[in-house]
Amino acid sequence: MERNDDNWLLRVRNLTKIYGEPSENTLSLTGPMFNSNICPETDSIVACAGIDFDLYPGEVLGIVGESGSGKSTVVKLLYFDMEQTEGTAWLKPYNDGLQNILSESNQKKRYIRNHLMGMVYQNPRDGLNFRFSSGGNIAEKLIMAGNMHVGNIRERASDLLNKTEVPVQRMDDRPSSFSGGMQQRVQISKAIANNPPLLFLDEVTTGLDVSVQARVLDLIRELQQDLGIAMIVVSHDLSVIRMLTDRTMVMKNGRIVESGLTDQILQDPQHEYSQLLVSSLL
């Protein structure tokens, strides 16, 4: 069969984030084998280390693991919310994938973020500006992506709110007056406003009640089907991972302990920690 491995959208190699001063032994003295991400020599903290993966267009990749395993760190580094200690990432639609996006200038990083990425945070306050109306929030993203025509922006905003089932007549209300599920849907509208090829979702259903959770999951699934957006879904909830993702990486103590097709991770986990995780599923 013809191999089309060059077709990746995002390629990440050796992505590493360490807090504090590492010693030369920090990486070899931390990780799942030691059940710790704190260096015994320097007390530096390895949030994540040696993260390698490829994401293909339209594919949904899950990152699962317990609190503190480093899963959110991975997406925050890739969305430039924090700076990596080491590592490289290439994004195909940017410079044909030839330039390490993590070493670009802040100005270029902003461009990449505004034009090629979307992010949905667990807390809507991180992704939305609560001083703006919901429509204003979407407009903000559209303006940053280079749209200047007010009429077009309003039309696009109402389209997006429609798609995410937020009542359009509430377009001029501030998100602070919305329920948690609605805030999350506004945040999703904002994140996809610029038609990004890549969307990050960080624990987006955590804290929502189950009926709202199901609607948000359904929305994400539908957007994926309709728009073919590639996604990285971070969650500690295996049910969310099972419903949304094609592939999954299991993280523990800042490292990837196993990666594979999502159904394989759930039905035939290889690593001791993944086996424990799956067998704990309710």
Q: Which positions touch another protein (CB under 8 A)?
A: 1-3, 5, 54, 56, 59, 211, 214-215, 217-218, 221, 225, 242-243, 246-247, 259-261, 263-264, 267-268, 270-272, 275-276, 279
Q: How far is the CB of 104 from another protein (least distance, A)?
A: 27
Q: How far is the CB of 56 from another protein (least distance, A)?
A: 6
- In the complex, minimum distance from the CB of residue 103 to another protein, in angstroms, rounded to a whole number: 26
Judged by CB, which is closer to another protein: 2, or 83? 2
State the minimum distance, in angstroms, from the CB of residue 115 to another protein.
25
Do 181 and 191 touch, CB atoms closer than 8 A?
Answer: no
139 or 257: whose CB is closer to another protein? 257
Q: How far is the CB of 207 from another protein (least distance, A)?
A: 18
For another protein, give the closer residue by CB, 77 or 249: 249
Please report, as a single letter, which amino acid is at residue 49.
A
CA distances from 260 to 199, 231, 237, 269, 270 (A): 20, 16, 17, 9, 10
Q: Smaller CB distance to another protein: residue 59 or 202?
A: 59
Closest distance between another protein and the C-beta of residue 154, in Å? 26
Amino acid at 79: Y
CB 213 → another protein: shortest distance, Å?
9
Reference 59, options 246, 268, 186; nearest CA is 246
Record the tokens describing residue 44, joined without a space: 């530096």
Q: Which is nearer to another protein, 1 or 148 (CB)?
A: 1
Residue with smaller CB distance to another protein, 1 or 98: 1
Closer residue to another protein in complex, CB, 13/271: 271
Ramachandran quadrant class, 225 (left: phi over 0; alpha: psi -120 to 50; beta: rest): alpha
Alpha carbon distance, N-terminus to C-terminus of the chain: 40
Cβ–Cβ contacts within 10 Å for residue 109, how many? 16
* Residues paired with residue 17 on neighbouring β-strands, in sequence order: 48
Nearer of residues 150 and 276 to another protein, judged by Cβ: 276
The Cα 125–Cα 73 span in angstroms is: 18
Q: How far apart are CA 87 and CA 136, in angstroms?
A: 35
Classify burial at 104, counting beta carbons within 10 Å of its beta carbon; exposed 0-12, middle 13-18, buried 19 or more: middle
φ/ψ region of 134 (left if φ > 0, alpha if ψ in -120 to 50, else beta) reads alpha
